[in-house]
Amino acid sequence: MKILLIGSGGREHALAWTLSQSQHKPELYFAPGNPGMRELGLRLDLQIDDVEGLLQFAKREQIDLTIVGPELPLALGLSDQFREAGLGVFGPGKAGAQLESSKAFAKEFMQAAQVPTAQFRFCENREAAVQALKAFSPPYVIKEDGLAGGKGVTVAGTKEEAISAIERASQKNMPVVIEEFLAGKELSVFVFCDGETLLPCIAAQDFKRIGEGDTGPNTGGMGAYAPVPMATPELIEQIKNKVLKPIQLGLKAQKLPYQGLLYVGLMVSPVGECKVIEFNARFGDPETQVVLPLLADDLVDIMLATVEGRLHEYAAQGIQFKEGCSAVTVVLASEGYPGEINTGKPIAFPQYLPQNAHVFHAGTKVLPDQSKVTAGGRVLNITGEGRTIEEARQAAYEVVKQIRFEGKTYRRDIAANPS
């Protein structure tokens, strides 16, 4: 079996590592991949937005399954072109990917499908957005209506901060969605969807703010853990009945084909009610780095069932995860992230890794002498596994201490108080 994985971040490294564990022993190709993935397969000199180049490679090499990691190729319609060519691809087409690429589309979809979510206003320009602020109370939630790499959301405590966020979006010619602020605790749920059946994974929780105690600006994510104690069987049933069922009916009613992974970002109120705060049309980063290491079923089998419309085969048992196991991931970032950063800093790795820890590369580069340097805002994801969240946390932070590069930035409170 030949599998092409598109992307180059920590999420893709975690996907590649999980795929390599499959009983199918697939031949893996990465476009373009990253230095941490070198031992798992062949890296290609193809970029994620080179849809035609990727398509021609998949045809020529007779790739059995293409997996789209990041959001950009989905928004460009890569999956549509692969399907038209008769190629198996895991990822929604351009229409379905609008659930991520357009915040307004996602909110209108939820409104029509009666998926519980925050009240909102869509504003095409600065003047309309400033006027719309009058309908909301602080804190204000301002979302750029477009792909923003997980960093297009501002929670503004004052009207002045909200107007600044609106002006930043306006400078990029981006409309905005203004939402009511939802209080509570966040949950991330990955949902496999084959167009008919929706099957959720275990819930994870990520940490979006750069600073400890959830302070500072939003990032792509500074860490995550799974499973989440508050995701009780009762809460999962509520999510299935009040969130996933309406989504399933809404996809059918709106004739929105969807085959791939739907990321559902939820806010759980203090009284235990769930509302959807966002959709992604692919695996989340860094939640993938804690969910996949806990997977007991074969990821290749699940993805093939998704692509072939056979997810109902898993419906009775659900997707299986390791019992009595937890995972925690800590992101090591460059100094200054999510703002201005300097790259090219040499990275020193520990000589040995314990069996219960993984280092997933996100923003690294290999020099001619084979040494590795920083090459992005988020540089490495350190994942620890254990019987408890605290055990997994200790495993991750033990490795974090041993990795060195100038300006190493990370949060010390990831999963410190699991909810």
CA-to-CA distance for 229 and 238, rounded, in angstroms? 15
| Sign of the alpha-carbon dihedral angle for 300, 303, 309, 310 | positive
| Sign of the alpha-carbon dihedral angle for 292, 295, 298, 303 | negative
Query: Which residues partner with 199 through β-bridges?
Result: 192
Instruction: Find how far residue 281's CA is from the centre of its chain.
Output: 9
Domain 2-93 -> CATH class? alpha beta
pLDDT for res 148: 64
Tokens at 90, concatenated: 């895991």
Q: What are phi and psi of 187, to 5 degrees?
A: -135, 145
Cβ distance 239 to 262 under 8 Å?
no
How far apart are the two ends of the chain, measured CA to CA in Å? 41
Return all residues near 393 (Cβ < 8 A) that are at least 6 apart.
225, 328, 384, 386, 414, 415, 416
Is the CATH code 3.30.470.20 the one for domain 185-314?
Answer: yes
Return all residues near 239 (Cβ < 8 A) that are at least 6 apart.
189, 200, 264, 266, 274
pLDDT for res 149: 59
| Type of residue numbered 300 | V
Give Cα separations from 319 to 90, 188, 354 (angstroms). Answer: 17, 16, 28
Per-residue pLDDT of the chain (419 residues; tens, 9 = 90+): 999 999 999 999 999 999 999 999 999 999 999 999 999 999 999 999 999 999 999 999 999 999 999 999 999 999 999 999 999 999 999 999 999 999 999 999 999 999 999 999 999 999 999 999 999 999 999 999 877 655 678 899 999 999 999 999 999 888 999 999 999 999 999 999 999 999 999 999 999 999 999 999 889 999 999 999 999 999 999 999 999 999 999 999 999 999 999 999 999 999 999 999 999 999 999 999 999 999 999 999 999 999 999 999 999 999 999 999 999 999 999 999 999 999 999 999 999 999 999 999 999 999 999 999 999 999 999 999 999 999 999 999 999 999 999 999 999 999 999 98
Tokens at 129, concatenated: 């957005």
Domain positions in the chain: 2-93, 120-179, 185-314, 326-402
Residue whose structure tokens are 């996100």: 362
Tokens at 42, concatenated: 């062949």
| Sign of the alpha-carbon dihedral angle for 292, 296, 300, 301 | negative
Tokens at 56, concatenated: 């021609």
Indicate the fold that domain 120-179 takes in CATH: Dna Ligase; domain 1 (3.30.1490)
Task: Give the H or E element holding residue 6.
Answer: strand 2-7
Return all residues near 29 (Cβ < 8 A) that are at least 6 apart.
2, 3, 4, 5, 41, 42, 44, 57, 61, 63
Strand 205-206 and strand 223-226: pairing? antiparallel
Cβ distance 209 to 167 under 8 Å?
no
pLDDT for res 419: 86
Tokens at 280, concatenated: 């992604």
Cβ distance 104 to 175 under 8 Å?
yes
Strand 153-156 and strand 176-179: pairing? unpaired
User: ∠ CA(155), CA(161), CA(166), 5° rounding?
Assistant: 85
pTM listed for this prediction: 0.94
Query: 326-402 in CATH: which number?
Result: 3.90.600.10
Tokens at 405, concatenated: 């590069």
pLDDT for res 318: 95
CA-to-CA distance for 417 and 419, rounded, in angstroms? 6
228 class by beta-carbon count within 10 Å (0-12 exposed, 13-18 middle, 19+ buried): buried
pLDDT for res 270: 93
CA-to-CA distance for 147 and 7, rounded, in angstroms? 16
Return all residues near 354 (Cβ < 8 A) that are at least 6 apart.
395, 398, 399
